[in-house]
């Protein structure tokens, strides 16, 4: 369907769902992921990369889909013991998930960049696609709330997105550079399409756009870039997207999403429920397209991936 | 039996056994342990303190006695997953043991000294005795072998003590200082006895003696110091003591142990099998005493502890 390579920019669960669909549509070497690391932090000495792991576990068929994070069939012996010892148990690491984090710690301690550590983990999970962190330099999403400045995980996990948000910053992004692997992916002459997965614009995609090199590479793209609107009927499928749009005084419409991605996308896939918004999207200079964007089953994911690839191919024609 | 306080210097399994016996004989506030940290290292980002943990688990009734390390009733989900991911699984951390290490990492990351982190862990395990690391500064036992210089755990766990040893060094000991807690324990006017537990002289006790402040405090003691000979009939109960004595060209006799601890002990408890060596010990200037030193049952441990306390009391009379 797509003769060239696809670069998929992704964050959390929604992005990983489309990622799985794309993985079913494309040969492994034709699909590269660029993954948000703004949610990363260090916890109990372990390097935590939630979005990388959500994608990795999803592609490996190990994700706990009901829960939205962590692994299927997980046990909790270490966390329960840690809690009994008075340790921090608010960030839930299962026994198997912990092993991945210890391995990442080991690889980083041996001098691997996060990109290299991620490649080793993907190989261990027999995931053949390239998973590239958005940068090897630390970028940390920080949320200014009515309770003051919160690190992302404090806001997201500890406070469960409850405090009203007035601003979001991406600390370190200005100084973050593109990894050689990511620069090569953008420069690859076989690249044919860039996909912005249906992830939270502020928390999953904006951290990528905050990195000057990534921003420039996207703006200078020679191939179409297509986003999937994360809203369905003005609501988010999952997570705080809609709440954040209200708090940041942004209209909860596909056109607002199109304007938010101004200069970085050529097309926007809207959910079929939002067909009436297509004209408003077109008025922003972005080509609209309509498809079922809810991804409940694997078939849904594959269908949306196929649709997105067709749409991208049509845009470049 | 002992009206004052006891300071017990200890290393691995043998020391922990006598420690448990002492804990049954003394009120908790009358027993302070000074524990070897020369075996400590960092692994997978976790601070590993084998001798502190052996003692802690033993006093808490959680030690796996058959195995000689780790916890009773342990599970291995994380380690098995780590191995499957290609990670270092040679150092065996069970799921529950891992929680202790994560908690120690957390406490140290919060700025606690190792002494403070150990106190918090002891409290969590409801161990009322004071467990003091020999120093808060890192001291690392290094073994010069026919295979070159090995870190302690490489020699002990990975190589299983197989390479012949020509020298042992305690890196960092010269610059290590006494913690305020340990200095206070030595200066305590209620202190009545110092016990050198039956631990490996080179690997468990010598690292303590290599710390100038600890060495000086022991040499300047105002109370008797008693060691329990780690040999029984010229052999070690456990571990590489006898092999090391051969390699370091030291006679495998109680008198050689007494000379090794020259200036640091006033009495030496020999096993009943070694009664014939008592005179040779006395000739080194150290008072010999004879007792069953094999500690198989809890009763054995308590009996040796009682014997040691009586011997110490007699020496100070």
Under 8 Å between Cβ of B82 and A82: no
The rounded distance, in Å, linking the Cα atoms of B197 and B207 is: 14
Residue A276 CB contacts under 8 Å (≥ 6 apart), including other chains: none
Report chain A residues whose CB lies below 8 A from the CB of B120: 86
Residue B294, min C-alpha distance to chain A (Å): 33
Check A45 against B102: CB less than 8 A apart. yes
For residue A95, give the chain B residue with the closest CA: B78
What's residue B130's pLDDT?
98
Across residues A66-82, what is the average pLDDT? 91
On the question of pLDDT at A221 being above 50, the answer is yes
What's residue A3's pLDDT?
65
pLDDT in tens, A190-220: 999 999 999 899 999 999 999 999 999 999 9
Check B106 against A124: CB less than 8 A apart. no
Q: What percent of chain A has pLDDT over 90?
A: 84
On the question of pLDDT at A1 being above 80, the answer is no
Under 8 Å between Cβ of B36 and B114: no
Report chain A residues whose CB lies below 8 A from the CB of B56: none
pLDDT confidence tier of residue A67, bands split at 50, 70 and 90? confident
Domain ranges of chain B: 5-316
CA-nearest of A257, A186, A197 to A221 is A186
On the question of pLDDT at A241 being above 90, the answer is no
* The Cα angle at residue B316 between residues B314 and B317, in degrees rounded to 5: 65
Name A8's bridge partners. Answer: A33, A195
A44: contact with B, CB 8 A cutoff: yes
Query: What's the Cα-to-Cα distance from A276 to each of A281, A294, A314, rounded to whole Å?
Result: 10, 17, 21
- ipTM attached to this prediction: 0.90
Nearest 5°: phi and psi at B267? -140, 155
B44: contact with A, CB 8 A cutoff: yes
B283: contact with A, CB 8 A cutoff: no
Residue with tokens 């989900």: B77
Residue B70, min C-alpha distance to chain A (Å): 14
What's residue B3's pLDDT?
66
Residue A284, min C-alpha distance to chain B (Å): 47
Across residues A36-47, what is the average pLDDT? 96
CATH topology of domain A5-316: Rossmann fold (3.40.50)
Report chain A residues whose CB lies below 8 A from the CB of B75: 75, 77, 95
Query: What's the Cα-to-Cα distance from A225 to each of A13, A134, A186, A187, A220, rounded to whole Å?
Result: 20, 17, 12, 15, 11
The rounded distance, in Å, linking the Cα atoms of A21 and A292 is: 13
Cα-Cα-Cα-Cα torsion B248, B251, B257, B259, nearest 10 degrees, comes to -90
Per-position pLDDT tens, chain B of length 317: 446 999 999 998 999 999 999 999 999 999 999 999 999 999 999 999 999 999 999 999 999 877 878 898 899 999 999 999 999 998 899 999 999 999 999 999 999 999 999 999 999 999 999 999 999 999 999 999 998 999 998 898 888 899 999 999 999 999 999 999 999 999 999 999 999 999 899 999 999 999 999 999 999 999 999 999 999 988 887 788 888 888 988 899 999 999 999 999 999 999 999 999 999 999 999 999 999 999 999 999 999 999 999 999 999 87
What's residue A317's pLDDT?
77
Task: Enumerate residues 56 to 115 of chain B having a beta carbon within 8 A of any beta carbon in chain A.
Answer: 75, 77-82, 84-88, 95-96, 98-100, 102-103, 105-106, 109
What's residue A2's pLDDT?
45
What's residue B1's pLDDT?
46
Question: DSSP secondary structure string, B20-86?
Answer: HHHHHHS-GGGEEEEE--TT-EEETTEEE-HHHHHHHHHHTT-B-TTTTSSBTT---HHHHHHHHTT
Residue A174 CB contacts under 8 Å (≥ 6 apart), including other chains: A210, A212
Which of A79, A88, A96 lies nearest to residue B81, judging by beta carbons? A96
Chain A interface, mutation test: which of B62, B76, B77, B84, most A Cβ atoms within 10 Å? B77
Which of A45, A81, A106 lies nearest to residue B87, judging by beta carbons? A106
What's residue B2's pLDDT?
45
pLDDT in tens, B144-189: 999 899 999 889 888 889 999 999 999 999 999 999 999 999 999 9
Report chain B residues whose CB lies below 8 A from the CB of A84: 99, 124
Chain A interface, mutation test: which of B102, B104, B127, most A Cβ atoms within 10 Å? B102
How does the average pLDDT of chain A come out, rounded? 94
Query: What's the Cα-to-Cα distance from B126 to each of B30, B35, B97, B122, rounded to whole Å?
Result: 16, 18, 16, 6
């Amino acid at each position: 369907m797509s003769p060239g390579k696809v670069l998929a920019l992704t964050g959390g669960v929604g992005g990983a769902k489309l990622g799985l669909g794309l993985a079913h549509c494309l040969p492994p070497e034709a699909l590269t992921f660029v993954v948000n690391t703004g949610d990363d932090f260090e916890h109990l000495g372990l390097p935590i990369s939630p979005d990388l792991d959500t994608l990795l576990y999803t592609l490996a068929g190990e994700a706990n889909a009901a829960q939205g994070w962590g692994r299927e069939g997980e046990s909790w012996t270490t966390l329960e013991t840690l809690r009994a010892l008075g340790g921090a148990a608010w960030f839930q690491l299962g026994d198997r998930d912990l092993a991945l984090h210890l391995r990442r710690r080991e690889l980083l301690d041996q001098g691997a960049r996060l990109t290299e550590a991620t490649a080793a983990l993907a190989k261990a999970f027999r995931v053949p696609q390239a998973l590239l962190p958005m940068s090897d330099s630390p970028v940390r999403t920080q949320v200014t709330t009515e309770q003051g400045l919160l690190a992302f995980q404090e806001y997201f996990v500890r406070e469960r997105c409850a405090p009203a948000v007035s601003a979001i910053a991406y600390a370190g992004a200005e100084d973050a550079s593109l990894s050689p692997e990511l620069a090569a992916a953008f420069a690859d002459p076989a690249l044919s399409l860039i996909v912005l997965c249906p992830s939270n614009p502020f928390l999953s995609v904006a951290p990528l756009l905050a990195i000057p090199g990534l921003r420039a590479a996207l703006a200078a793209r020679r191939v179409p870039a297509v986003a999937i609107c994360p809203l369905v009927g003005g609501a988010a499928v999952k997570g705080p997207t809609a709440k954040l749009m209200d708090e940041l005084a942004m209209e909860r419409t596909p056109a607002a999403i199109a304007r938010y991605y101004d200069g970085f996308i050529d097309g926007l896939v809207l959910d079929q429920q939002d067909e009436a918004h297509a004209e408003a999207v077109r008025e922003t200079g972005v080509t609209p397209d309509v498809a079922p964007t809810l991804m409940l089953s694997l078939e849904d994911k594959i269908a949306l991936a196929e649709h997105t690839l067709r749409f991208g191919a049509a845009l470049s024609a």
